[in-house]
């Protein structure tokens, strides 16, 4: 058909037995698993199992980080895989976190609750659309705005933290904290604030032995209390972009 997208340079379209283009199985299995985890999170939230829903979102984030790397390692990148991954991300890191937050506590806030959930959801959609358009046109070392997996981890981590520690959702202003956290994540995703991408880290290079010790220490800290430690890490990354932005503005006159 005339409107079929052209294959990526260096990649040959694979023709299936029924006449359609075939797809690479391995990376798309990871994408499908991430999509299932996001869908599972929505179902668990509807059933009132919010801790399981939050963990499912975090699992989806891990799987989303693996599918692209698997595709690059096995040289199975494709236009279909890129589009499928983006649609999966919208479900797992856009709709699922918004619905989990709304079913958890935001529905008790009335109009503000669903507006906060929608701000997060539309922020994720705009973030993914801008990322697809700007792919290859920005500095690989930094994300433009908070990446959607980090935003999903931030809100899911908060739900997991409160659920795991049996914090009453009617106390400590939990609904309002969740609402403002959703708005913060949604707005930051569409901002121009730079967030370090870690893409310039070369895992094939040798590192000092102390680096391995720090990694082991990190695993020990996380295993001591995963909900608290991981949420603190998510919060640290969630504000790191503003710190980089502030430092950049402060040092710019001296550059």
Q: Specify if 11 maps to a domain.
A: no
Q: Specify if 126 maps to a domain.
A: yes
For residue 55, what is the domain's CATH number?
1.20.120.1760
The pLDDT of residue 149: 94
Q: How many CB atoms lie within 10 A of CB 94?
A: 25
pLDDT tens track of the chain, all 255 residues? 444 444 444 444 444 444 456 677 788 899 999 999 999 999 999 999 999 999 999 999 999 988 878 888 888 788 888 889 999 999 999 999 999 999 999 999 999 999 999 999 999 999 999 888 876 556 678 888 999 999 999 999 999 999 999 888 877 789 999 999 999 999 999 999 999 887 766 666 776 777 778 888 888 888 889 999 999 999 999 999 999 888 876 655 433
Q: Specify if 122 maps to a domain.
A: yes
The angle formed by the CA atoms of residues 150, 193 and 246, to the nearest 5 degrees, is 115
The pLDDT of residue 251: 55
The answer to whether 91 and 63 have CB atoms below 8 angstroms apart is: no
The pLDDT of residue 66: 87
Q: Of 67, 56, 70, which Cα lies nearest the Cα of 30?
A: 67
Contacts (Cβ under 8 Å, ≥6 apart) of 92: 34, 35, 37, 38, 41, 57, 60, 61, 64, 152
pTM of the model: 0.84
Q: Specify if 10 maps to a domain.
A: no
Query: Number of structural domains, the chain?
Result: 1
Provide the domain limits for residue 113.
21-254
Q: Specify if 3 maps to a domain.
A: no
């Amino acid at each position: 058909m005339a409107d079929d997208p052209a294959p990526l340079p260096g990649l040959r379209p694979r023709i299936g037995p029924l006449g359609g283009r075939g797809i690479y199985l391995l990376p798309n299995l990871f994408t499908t698993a991430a999509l299932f985890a996001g869908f599972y999170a929505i179902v668990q939230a509807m059933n009132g199992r919010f801790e399981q829903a939050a963990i499912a979102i975090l699992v989806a984030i891990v799987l989303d980080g693996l599918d692209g790397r698997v595709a690059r390692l096995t040289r199975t990148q494709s236009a279909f895989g890129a589009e499928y991954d983006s649609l999966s991300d919208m479900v797992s890191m856009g709709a699922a976190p918004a619905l989990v937050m709304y079913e958890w506590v935001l529905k008790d806030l009335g109009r503000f609750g669903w507006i906060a959930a929608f701000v997060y959801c539309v922020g994720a959609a705009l973030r993914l659309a801008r990322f697809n358009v700007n792919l290859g046109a920005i500095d690989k070392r930094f994300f433009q705005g908070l990446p959607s997996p980090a935003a999903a981890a931030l809100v899911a981590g908060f739900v997991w933290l409160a659920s795991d520690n049996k914090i009453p959702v009617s106390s400590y202003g939990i609904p309002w904290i969740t609402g403002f956290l959703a708005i913060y994540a949604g707005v930051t995703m569409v901002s121009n604030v730079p967030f370090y991408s870690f893409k310039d880290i070369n895992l094939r290079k040798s590192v000092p032995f102390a680096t391995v010790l720090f990694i082991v220490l990190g695993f020990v800290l996380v295993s001591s209390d995963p909900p608290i430690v991981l949420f603190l890490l998510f919060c640290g990354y969630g504000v790191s972009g503003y710190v980089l932005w502030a430092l950049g503005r402060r040092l710019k006159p001296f550059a």
